[in-house]
Amino acid sequence: MTASPTFAQLVSLACHDLRTPLATASGFAHTLQRLDALEPPADRYVEMIGVASAQIGHLLDLLGAAARMEAGRFEAQVVTADSRELADGAAAMLEPDRASVEGTGAEVRVNPKWVQVAIAAVAECVRRHGALDNVTLAVDGAEVSIGP
């Protein structure tokens, strides 16, 4: 299914407009964390607001990219990359100790940024929906498998 240009514009504008209040919430959360004046459990709540704000920002980035793709305004930067390095980069996008990488890679022609984002997103889905503490990204040549 292909979205109409009007729908893609709406998604793009919505993403842009959501960033202002998100930046305000995120900025105040970071300011409160830096002040180091909050007692438990308020300090944990502010930390959770900061983490959630970052997650929403990431989702808005993905929605914006999807809108650009649907509108035909996305230009992929395809280069030669190593699949192991892509998996390592994807693992680094997750919270510490949430993913490990094993195996040997191979050269692939991809858009590295978006392949890493996709691998990280799938790994996080596997981890969350599988109720796992962490996942393994198993690299075998050009293929990357994700499992417990």
Return the minimum-mean-pLDDT range out of 18-22, 25-29, 66-70: 66-70
**pTM tops 0.85, yes or no:** no
For the cut 90, the answer to whether the pLDDT of residue 116 exceeds it is yes
Backbone conformation region of residue 141, classed left if phi is above 0, alpha if psi is from -120 to 50, else beta: left
Top pLDDT among 62 and 99 is at: 99
For the cut 80, the answer to whether the pLDDT of residue 133 exceeds it is yes
Return the minimum-mean-pLDDT range out of 1-15, 68-82, 103-117: 1-15
Residues 46-77: tens digit of each pLDDT: 999 998 999 899 889 888 888 888 888 888 89
What per-residue confidence (pLDDT) applies to 126? 94
What per-residue confidence (pLDDT) applies to 65? 85
What per-residue confidence (pLDDT) applies to 83? 98
